[in-house]
Chain A
Amino acid sequence: MSDAPVLQIRNLHAKVAEEGTEILHGLDLDIPAGEVHAIMGPNGSGKSTLAKVIAGHPEYEVTEGTVTFHGEDILEMEPDERSQAGLFLAFQYPVEIPGVSIANFMRTAKQAHLPEGEELDLFDFQDELLDRMKLLDMDPTFAERPVNDGFSGGEKKRNEILQMAMLKPSMALMDETDSGLDIDALQVVAHGVNALTEEDSQMGVLLITHYQRLLNYIKPDVVHVMVDGKIVKTGGPEVALELEEEGYADYREFETA
């Protein structure tokens, strides 16, 4: 673990760009290299908004505060530049791209991550893709299916982890990756994430989840509780267990609305 956090957020305020409703009200967060953090919170607390704002979703507008990644301000960067800088967002609701195979999609994404003028070696790519699919217990024919088109919930989430495994980010944001998964699928997904953090001990992970369940399989170093657009409590894994037993009722006082 190095001292300077990979991801550092200070006093982050963000609103829905069109409506103007503020959702994040001055949020602070540090994620050092190699640590797994979890953000838990009730529905509507702004957890998913936080993930999208970090990844640069055009629906949100940052009105105040900073987000630095490896010491660099990323708020002015486009989503593709953030990705190329090593940030990855596993979507809560992965988007369908009809007619585009996973292999084709991954190849385009991998190519986009290479420096200008460098060409992806297709044989290496193919080997890597098959290797990563094996890690996630996926059938090789999966690569020929159109991205998320007609996928089950579990397949969509596994596809997200596959992309993460292929792009090897230094920081992975996982937005409700556990939602809609049965226990078997959850274990496969968790196994994949754990394998990746083992492989790269410097990778940071931010798990966004409503339930403690995921944290049985991916052990967080730090757990934050988020209510009404702010982090209201930070502690060890025990925080998650407390929440599991007592629910979010104790945190109602933080709600301003």
Chain B
Amino acid sequence: MPENETLQDLGLDEYKYGFVDEEKHVFRTQPGLTEEVVRQISAQKEEPEWMLEFRLKALDIYNSKPMPTWGGDLSSLNRVLDDIYYYVRPQDKMEHDWDDVPENIKTTFERLGIPEAEQKILAGVGAQYESEMVYHSLKQEWEEKGVIFDSIEEGLKNHPELFRQYFGTVVPSEDNKFSAMNSAVWSGGSFVYIPKGVELETPLQAYFRVNQERMGQFERTLIIADEGSHAHYIEGCTAPVYSTESFHSGVIEIVVHQNARFRYTTIQNWSNNMYNLVTQRAMVHENASMEWLDGNLGSKLTMKYPSCFLVGEGAHGEILSIAYAGNGQHHDTGGKVVHAAPRTTSSIVSKSISRGTGRSSYRGLCKVYEGAKHAKSNVECDALLINDTSRTDTYPYIEIDERDANVGHEATVSKVGEEQLFYLMSRGMSEEEAMALIVRGFIEPIAKELPLEYAVELNRLIDLEMEGSVG
């Protein structure tokens, strides 16, 4: 710790990045999820009729589906769901001033090494984004290439045909209870289209979408990578989703057309009361490649299984995930790969860390349909337990209907060993520093895939999370 600050001084004692923002909104629905609420949302967004119908139908599906009983404990979720507001429209112009952001929050940002421009966005003072020049030049480049990078609402408004062609096709409302819920009340998220043959060097980062609705509780993102395109999208960042909300249910749909390559990276850190239930799936066509890089820290319960549906011959899917379950948290995460065409290949690498009474479960599905000849899949899941009270489980589901397929699964569980700790401590490191170094080493195979600044942030986050891990 620098100087003599305590965790409390930094506001890092509880949820380490949370702060309560004064409520300022111009419109919100009444609590609970009703048809009236759905109609209001659609009306507020001035949506076309088909979208209202889509939402209402999704609401019916939501109401008809029982609460899932597999995975994490959702028994107290109904109470949460009755109390939350399903739509709050943020003010059109943010009026927060950087000077009003509490000093301790700024200190936290600095400790995380987040650039000031990004800090301002995270603190909800995006209107003052100083890198707007950078953003504009990127935006110009994107526009010249025909790339669309909008909020989901703008996508619907400005590109209605393209939007309608793909929306809800990768993750239909019927997919699961929470995809149905999201389909009924979605709000916020990104709409991205990469035209044929366009290759983007600079990742598309969600925080570039300044002055727009940022990710909400029911974020919905739709991405189309057209034939032969090549791009990387980054959502959120290691730091701070500032939310006092206790429920997040997103849907992310990605279509990767023939010969295209797409990577979606997200590292998110949720407050400890949060139910985080996300459906994210990519439809991967002939000789195309999709990579999910997914990191989750915090939350009360996270259930998230990035998926690749390999529907074209030679399609490739890759899922790299990190889960960090702290005290009292449960991460039920993993990945799904569905091989529905010949010569499709996939790989899942999942790393989980459980600390204190934290529990991490790997839940993965590898499905190979008949006819997907020469399909190849490899799953590797490694769990690291920090304390004696930490827990991990593995639920691998493998369904193979094709004789000519090659599927491998490997799982390891390790505990931070006394010998490792003694070795590092005998070199002068405190027990906490030693633990943090071991954890960073454990996730290194995934962290090295991140852009440098994110890898650095992730490591700092892990260090913060490891504070107080001893004893």
**Chain A interface (Cβ within 8 Å of chain B)?**
55-59, 78-80, 82-84, 88-89, 91, 94-100, 104-105, 108-109, 112-113, 117, 146, 163, 167
A96 vs B416: C-alpha distance when bound (angstroms): 12
Chain A residue nearest to B441 (CB atoms) is A99
A105 vs B438: C-alpha distance when bound (angstroms): 10
A contact residues around B424 at 8 Å (CB): 97, 105, 109
A contact residues around B425 at 8 Å (CB): 56, 78-80, 83
Tell whether, in the assembled complex, residue B427 and residue A167 are in contact, meaning their CB atoms are under 8 Å apart.
yes
Chain B residue nearest to A98 (CB atoms) is B441
Interface residues of B in 423-464 (CB under 8 A from A): 423-431, 433-434, 437-438, 440-445
Task: Check B201 for interface membership: any CB of A closer than 8 A.
Answer: no
Tell whether, in the assembled complex, residue A97 and residue B426 are in contact, meaning their CB atoms are under 8 Å apart.
no
A contact residues around B441 at 8 Å (CB): 97-100, 146
Tell whether, in the assembled complex, residue B422 and residue A79 are in contact, meaning their CB atoms are under 8 Å apart.
yes
Task: Check B471 for interface membership: any CB of A closer than 8 A.
Answer: no
Given contacts A98-B441, A98-B442, A99-B442, contact A108 B433 (CB under 8 A): yes
Tell whether, in the assembled complex, residue A79 and residue B426 are in contact, meaning their CB atoms are under 8 Å apart.
yes
A76–chain B nearest beta-carbon distance, Å? 15
With most chain A CB atoms within 10 A of its CB, the pick from B2, B3, B428 is: B428
Chain B 401-434, CB-CB to A under 8 Å as 1, else 0, gives 0000000000000000111101111111111011
Interface size on B, residues (CB 8 A): 26
Tell whether, in the assembled complex, residue B428 and residue A167 are in contact, meaning their CB atoms are under 8 Å apart.
yes
Tell whether, in the assembled complex, residue A117 and residue B2 are in contact, meaning their CB atoms are under 8 Å apart.
yes
A contact residues around B426 at 8 Å (CB): 55-56, 79-80, 82-83, 88-89, 91
With A80-B430, A83-B425 already in contact, 19 other A-B pairs whose C-beta atoms are closer than 8 Å: A55-B422, A56-B425, A59-B418, A80-B427, A80-B431, A82-B426, A89-B426, A95-B417, A95-B422, A97-B420, A98-B442, A99-B442, A100-B438, A105-B424, A105-B437, A112-B428, A146-B441, A163-B427, A167-B428
| Neighbour of A80 across the interface among B417, B418, B428, CB < 8 A | B428
- Return 23 A-B CB contacts under 8 Å, by A number: A55-B422, A56-B425, A57-B422, A58-B422, A59-B418, A78-B425, A79-B426, A80-B428, A80-B430, A80-B431, A83-B425, A94-B423, A95-B417, A95-B420, A97-B437, A98-B444, A99-B442, A99-B444, A105-B437, A109-B427, A109-B428, A112-B429, A117-B3
A contact residues around B419 at 8 Å (CB): 95
Tell whether, in the assembled complex, residue B438 and residue A109 are in contact, meaning their CB atoms are under 8 Å apart.
no
Tell whether, in the assembled complex, residue B428 and residue A97 are in contact, meaning their CB atoms are under 8 Å apart.
no
A contact residues around B434 at 8 Å (CB): 80
With most chain B CB atoms within 10 A of its CB, the pick from A79, A88, A94, A117 is: A79
